[in-house]
A and B are shown apart, each in its own frame.
Chain A
C-alpha cells in the first residue's frame, strides 16, 4: 500500500519529473549546441523531434508486430505480446536518429548556398517535419509499441513514490554521458577545435584550409541525430505513445535553452533538468491541493523560457560564450 506523502510528493514529483521529462530537452539542446558551435542555428529541430517520435514509434510497432506474427506462425500456442520485444524499440531509436540526420544534413546543405537564411530555413523544416510526421503517423496513433527499458534506481527505498520517481531510462543516462563527453571533446580534441574555429571565425577556418560548409553541414547533421533520438524517447518511453500533440513545443524550448546554457553541454544538462522539473510542477501542486493559479503553474516551462530570454539579453554585455559566426550575434 502506498503511504501518504503529502507535500513531499511535490518534491518527489519535481525530481521524478525532471528525470522523466528532461531527456528530450537534453538531447535536442546538445544537438543544437553542436550545430550552433559550428556557427548555424537550426530551428527545425522541433520538426525533427516530432518526426523522430513518429518514425521511432512506427518502426517499433511494425517490427514488433511482425515478430509477434512470426512467433505465432512458428508456434500458435505461444503467449507473445508486442511489449516483449524491447529490441524493436531500440531499432526505433536508431531509425529516428538516422531520420534526424537526414533532416539535419538537408538543412546543412541548403544553408551552404549563398544568401540562404538558416533561421527561415529552420522554420520551413520544422513545418515540413511535423507535417510529414502527422501524414505518415496516422496509422501509428492506435497501435501499442514496446517501451524502452528503465533501470529501477530507487529500489533502496521502500516508498513506492520514490521507486517510481527514480525509474531511470537508459537514454537519460546516455544523455548525461554525452553532455560530459561533448563538453570535453569541444575543448580538448582536434575535432572540437575545428568545429569551434568554423563557428567563431569562418575566414580563419578557411585560411587554415578547412571546408566551412562541410563542417557546418556535418555539425547540423549530428544535431539532427540527437533531436531524432530525443523524439524517439518521447514516443517510446515517456509519455510512451505517438500522437500529434506529443511534443507541445519542447523542441523549440530546447533551442532557447542552449542560449540559457551558454553553449555549454553541461549547462544544457542542468537547464534540461530545470525545464523537466518545471513541467511537473503544475500537476504536482494540484495534487497536494494548491489549486490557485493552475494555469500559471502549468505554463511554468514557457514562462521560464520567456524569463530566461529576458534575463540573458542585455545591451551592456555580449552573450558570453556565443559563437562569433552565429547569425543572431553577428
Chain B
C-alpha cells in the first residue's frame, strides 16, 4: 500500500473508527465523527461561578448556551485581573480551540484582553462592561453591557418609600464609572420620593472581601441606614448581615430573596443569555459580530426581582409607574441641573442623559445627597 502523506477525510474517519473500536480513545472518535466542528466559546470569571452575584449571572447564561447545537463551552473561574487572565485566554485559544472569548470582569479589558486581541487577530473577544471605541480598540474586540443603573434607580424608589430614618446605605466595591452610576441612581431614585433622604456609600476596595463587606454593612447600619443595597461581586454576605441587623435589602446581580425572605424589597438582576445567544448565532452563521452591544430593561438585558412582602402598595405603584416610563424609552435619571456632592455642577439645566448616553460610562462623581467620596 502506497504511503499517503495527506489522509483523506474518509481514511481519517476509518482510522478514528478503528481506534474507537479498540475502545481506548472513544471520545476522540466521536469528536472526529462529528459533522461540523463546534464553536468553542470561552468564559472567564473573576470569582466562583455560584456566588449569588455577578459571576453567577454570567455562568447561568453560559449554562443555557450549552443546550444550543454545535457549541462547546469552556469556563474558568477565580481568575484574577492580572496577567493570569492572559494565560487563561491563551490556553483556551491554543489548547481548547476557542474562537470566541467572553472575559467577564471589568479589569480584564485593558491591558489584558487588548493584548490578547492583538496577538490572536482571528479570535473574537467580547468584554462585559468595557468602553469599546471604534478606531481606538481592535476590530476583533468589543463590549456588551446592560443599563442596570435603571434597576438601581427603581431599587432607590422602593427604598425611598420604605426608609424611616431617611438614610440609606450602599456597599460598593471600587469607584469605577459603572459602580458610581449605580450609587447615584440608587440615591436619585430615593430622593425622587423624598429629597431629604441621604445615601451613604462605603467602598471596600475589592470585588470580593467578605469580612470587610460585613464590617461596611454594620458601619452603615450603625450610622442609621435602614435600607441597604450593594455593588460587590457576591452580595450574599451583605444581604445576610443587613437582614441580621433588621435592615431592608435591595438586591443586585441576581435574586437574593431566599437569603432574606422578609426583608428583601426588590433587586436589579442581570439577564445575559439573550446577549450571548446573539453573539453565538452570528459566530455560527459566519456573520460579523457586533462590537458594541447595550441594552436595558426594555431589551431584557436587565430585570427586577419580584417585590418582597414588606413593600407597601404606594411604593409598588410608584415603582411600576417609573418602570413603565423607562420601558417606553427616553427616560433619564441623570439630568440637569445636577450638582455633585461637593457642590460642583456636573450636568447643566436642560441637559438630560438617557440610559444609552455614552457620557454616563465615564462617570467620576457622586451626586448631591450621597455621603462619601470617590477617592
Q: Residues of A at under 8 Å CB distance from B?
A: 1-5, 9, 12-13, 16-17, 20-21, 134, 138, 141-142, 144, 161, 164-165, 234, 238-241, 243-246, 248, 250, 279-280, 282-284, 286-289, 291-292, 294-295, 298
* In-complex Cβ contact of A164 among B216, B218, B223, B240 (8 A): B218
Give complex CA distance A142, B240 in Å.
Answer: 12
B240: which A residues are within 8 A, CB to CB? 144, 239-241
Identify the stretch in B96-104, B150-158, B205-213, B276-284 within 8 Å (CB) of chain A at 4 or more residues: B205-213
Task: State whether the Cβ of B346 lies closer than 8 Å to any Cβ in chain A.
Answer: no
Q: Which chain B residue shows the least CB distance to A248?
A: B209
Please give the distance in Å from A80's CB to the nearest CB on chain B.
14
Q: A13-B215, A291-B372, A294-B375 are in contact. Are A244 and B48 (CB under 8 A)?
A: yes
* In-complex Cβ contact of B222 among A1, A5, A291, A292 (8 A): A5
* In-complex Cβ contact of A1 among B164, B204, B371 (8 A): B164
A-B contact list, 7 entries, CB within 8 Å:
A2-B165, A21-B215, A164-B245, A244-B78, A282-B205, A283-B216, A287-B216
Q: A164-B221, A239-B214, A283-B212 are in contact. Are A244 and B47 (CB under 8 A)?
A: yes
B236: which A residues are within 8 A, CB to CB? 241, 243
Would you call B212 and A279 a contact (CB within 8 A)? yes
Would you call A294 and B203 a contact (CB within 8 A)? yes
Would you call B373 and A292 a contact (CB within 8 A)? yes
A9: which B residues are within 8 A, CB to CB? 219, 222-223
Would you call B226 and A142 a contact (CB within 8 A)? no
Would you call B258 and A144 a contact (CB within 8 A)? yes
Would you call A239 and B375 a contact (CB within 8 A)? no
Would you call A245 and B258 a contact (CB within 8 A)? no
Q: A2-B224, A239-B211, A283-B215 are in contact. Are A291 and B164 (CB under 8 A)?
A: no
Please give the distance in Å from A307's CB to the nearest CB on chain B.
20
Would you call A243 and B208 a contact (CB within 8 A)? yes
B373: which A residues are within 8 A, CB to CB? 291-292
The 10 A-B pairs at the shortest CB distance, nearest first, are namely: A291-B373, A239-B214, A287-B219, A283-B216, A245-B208, A283-B219, A283-B215, A239-B210, A161-B222, A286-B202
Give complex CA distance A2, B167 in Å.
Answer: 11
Q: Residues of B at under 8 Å CB distance from A?
A: 47-48, 50-52, 78, 164-165, 200-206, 208-216, 218-224, 226, 234, 236-237, 240-241, 244-245, 258-259, 371-373, 375
Would you call A13 and B218 a contact (CB within 8 A)? yes
Would you call B47 and A286 a contact (CB within 8 A)? no
* In-complex Cβ contact of A12 among B201, B222, B375 (8 A): B222
Would you call A241 and B218 a contact (CB within 8 A)? no
Q: A2-B165, A248-B210, A294-B205 are in contact. Are A239 and B237 (CB under 8 A)?
A: yes
A246: which B residues are within 8 A, CB to CB? 210-211
B219: which A residues are within 8 A, CB to CB? 9, 13, 280, 283-284, 286-287
B218: which A residues are within 8 A, CB to CB? 13, 16-17, 20, 164, 283
Q: Which chain B residue shows the least CB distance to A139?
A: B50
B226: which A residues are within 8 A, CB to CB? 2
B202: which A residues are within 8 A, CB to CB? 283, 286-287
Please give the distance in Å from B251's CB to the nearest CB on chain A.
14
* In-complex Cβ contact of A240 among B165, B206, B223, B237 (8 A): B237
Would you call B223 and A288 a contact (CB within 8 A)? yes
Q: A21-B215, A241-B236, A294-B203 are in contact. Are A289 and B222 (CB under 8 A)?
A: no
Most buried by A among B204, B220, B224, B373: B224
A5: which B residues are within 8 A, CB to CB? 222-223
B258: which A residues are within 8 A, CB to CB? 144
